Amino acid sequence: MRNVLNLFYRRGKDDFETNESFVLLFRSWSSVGFIPKKPKRIADIIHQLICWTCVIICPYIYFSGVIETMSYLPITIVLANLGAAINCIAFPLKAFYIKANIDRLHDVGTIFKDLDGRYQRPQDQMQIRDLVTNSRRIFAVSFILCWFYATLSGLVALFAHEYPHGNNLPFIDWLPESNFKFWLHFTFEVMFLQYLVQVNLTNDSFPAIYIRAIRTHVSLLTDRVSRLGSNPDLNDQENFEELVDCIVSHQKLLQISDTVGTILSLTTFFQFTIYAAIICVCMLNMFIFGNATTKVVTVVYLIPVFWQTIPTCYQASMLEGDCAKLPLAIFHSNWLALDKRCHKLIIYFMQRTQKEISFTAIKLFQINLRTNLSIAKFSFTLYTFINAMDFGKTR
């Protein structure tokens, strides 16, 4: 396998595969217990049990901790903990749903491998190389942003001699007050947060990376279609077979889009449902209650929250534009040089491609930048409404 840094900086061999875009995703899923190792060993089974126990109990640990600390912690810390707790609501649901469908993503990789065989020109390989490097950068940015927040929240809590999110850890909290209890609780909470961050950034990165791969193959197909009838070395039968193969490639892309769309539809809906609430809580903490330190930590938390949906929405919006170019490429190809059989297929192909590839969150709203902006606007409206009720005067 190609070195990760070589992929990131576009070094090494020139032959790239689409599936190299997903290597970091599957390595991360393996590290957090989503993909079992083969052959199975006792240590691997224990690792998976620990991981899924953390996934299941995280909403209870965070929300019970917020409830228990409301009576004696400052409102700024309570709101900061509440923002992190809200993000845990959909966490197990997304994790279980992705785990249940992870084999379908392996099947998608098989289709992408088949499509790669159709694009061997240097120009095509350049686009696939750009796909691989851009996908790695999407994952790298997610990793940096999320781990920076997790590290900063741990450091701030350490200097304040407090727990990062005030989690409720029954077996540890039952111990008598002592330095040993504090450091045991603090260490477990930091490690628990790092695990949750790794799962979350992986689950939120996969839609953007897979949509980016679909975009690349739509672009490759558009270039290929635009060359139909332009090669004088091909006879009528070879032109016909090329057109048929273009149609087959488009059908495979639709198959990939249906599979990926089914998975990200529910996971993105889960994220959208809590997106506005998190932003509203963070704005209350920043503009009503928070001091300078609280504002800095809240902004650092908001950046990965925004990043959970923005790459997916951006790639989905760009895909809509890429799909609009495909029927135009068919129309402007040299179809007059093709025989009558091809003319009939061209009409069918153009009709099929006029329906753009788009993704919806359980058929309620489209996944794109317009929806993302609308939800952000709703959170600002919600904050304005709460602020108008003189919520800040309760200090």
Each residue's pLDDT tens digit, 57-85? 999 999 998 888 888 888 888 888 888 88
pLDDT tier at 36, thresholds 50, 70, 90:
confident
Give the global pTM.
0.90
- Give the Cα separation of 121 and 112 in Å (integer): 17
Say what the pLDDT of residue 394 is: 46
Q: Any residues with CB less than 8 A from the CB of 134 and at least 6 apart, and which? A: 212
pLDDT in tens, 103-122: 999 999 999 999 999 998 88
pLDDT value, residue 314? 94
Contact indicator for 213, 21 with CB cutoff of 8 Å: yes
For the segment 263-317, what is each residue's pLDDT rounded down to a tens digit?
Answer: 999 888 888 888 888 888 888 877 777 677 777 888 888 888 889 889 999 999 9
Indicate whether 250 pLDDT > 90: yes
% of the chain with per-residue pLDDT over 90: 41
Angle at 349 between CA 250 and CA 344, to 5 degrees: 145
- One-character DSSP codes across 379-391: HHHHHHHHHHTTG
